[in-house]
Amino acid sequence: MKILVTGGLGFIGSHLVGRLLQEGHTVICLDNGYTGREENVQAHRDNPAFRLLWHDVAEPLPPELEKAGIEQIYHLACPASPPHYQADPIRTIRTGVWGTYHLLELAQKTGSRFLLASTSEVYGDPQVHPQPEDYWGHVNPIGPRACYDESKRLAETLTFDWQRQHQTEIRVARIFNTYGPAMREDDGRVVSNFIVQALRGDPLTVYGDGSQTRSFCYISDLIEGLVRLMNSPYPGPFNLGNPQEFTILELAQQVLALTGSPSPIVHRPLPTDDPKQRRPDIRKARTLLGWDPQIPLQVGLELTIPYFRRRLGLE
């Protein structure tokens, strides 16, 4: 198949591009390089089945894409780490909303199947735990996280309306915290921050008292879920995440133990509207997609730490 991946230079996007090429598909990777990095797809540069197109999804798409024979679109393009999406919130909204609009238009024109990379952030600071897909969420519409949360919520709305109005084939994945190789060392999210801090011997910065929870999914499990969802008959939404839940303090201790780092733990102020708890209810994905994450946190961290060691030039 010919497949378009937006955000294909990013952490998740580049793993997806690799997987699709491995399966024998032709892949167009569309990215503006805002948070993605070309080195993430370096291995495919000379592969004739791979093409990189520099473009910002918030702008109208190059018309040539309408004649490129695209059959599936994975729409991942959007900065996703709080420091990155909050650095220019208006731009984040343009990317989240107009980006999705443009890609849905392309899906309609080409008759492609469209998969939206949505997020657990649609649940906000959830009052239902764990979060099932039929929970409508608890989002502060005017807080610093809203530019991301609300634009992803509107992106979901647009996607379902496009299906209702134009019969476009849609798939919606709600992606929970994911980690692994190819993350930026300055990504700003907790797993990369803690590993980089531990390897450098810097203090691990726990925001608040560290009792807030997250559930961390290793990248290969997430990619498997995205591909299964795209090729399933179900529009979703589907939660894709690992339901094993940890406090942030437990994560810090685990990273210290696995790196053997002497770094201390320091506490920093809790960011505004930081969700107190998060854990996916994945019964729907288990039942309908036959998907279940295989990599527990410790194994995933053991696979990720050597990558950061290399990136930081420590070996």
**Parallel/antiparallel/unpaired status of strands 213-215 and 245-247:** antiparallel
# residues contacting ligand UDP (CB under 6 A): 13
For residue 100, state whether it binds ligand UDP (rule: CB under 6 A): no
Closest-CA residue to 273 (of 156, 150, 177): 150
- Residue 84 as a binder of ligand UDP (CB under 6 A): the answer is no
Q: Does 113 bind ligand UDP (CB under 6 A)?
A: no
Tell me which H or E stretch contains 263: none
Apex 85 CA angle, 253 and 252, nearest 5 = 0
- Of 248, 255, 282, 297, which lies in the binding site for ligand UDP, with binding defined by CB under 6 A? 248
| DSSP reduced 3-state for 286 | helix
Is residue 177 a contact residue for ligand UDP (CB under 6 A)? yes
Instruction: Determine if 117 is a binding residue for ligand UDP (CB under 6 A).
Output: no
Q: Find the binder of ligand UDP among 129, 274, 277, 288 (CB under 6 A).
A: 274
Binder of ligand UDP out of 40, 193, 242, 263 (CB under 6 A): 193
38 near ligand UDP, judged by CB under 6 A: no
Kindly indicate which of the ranges 59-67, 207-215, 234-242, 298-306 contains the residues binding ligand UDP, using the contact rule CB under 6 A: 207-215
Contact between 274 and 211 under an 8 Å Cβ cutoff? The reply is no
Output the smallest distance, CB 205 to ligand UDP, in A: 4
- Which residues are annotated as catalytic? 148
Contact criterion met (CB below 8 Å) for 250 and 307: no
Under the binding rule (CB under 6 A), the answer on residue 246 touching ligand UDP is no
- DSSP-assigned letters across all residues of 99-146: HHHHHHHHHHHHT-EEEEEEEGGGGBS-SSSSBPTT---B--TTSTTH
Site membership for ligand UDP, residue 224 (CB under 6 A): no
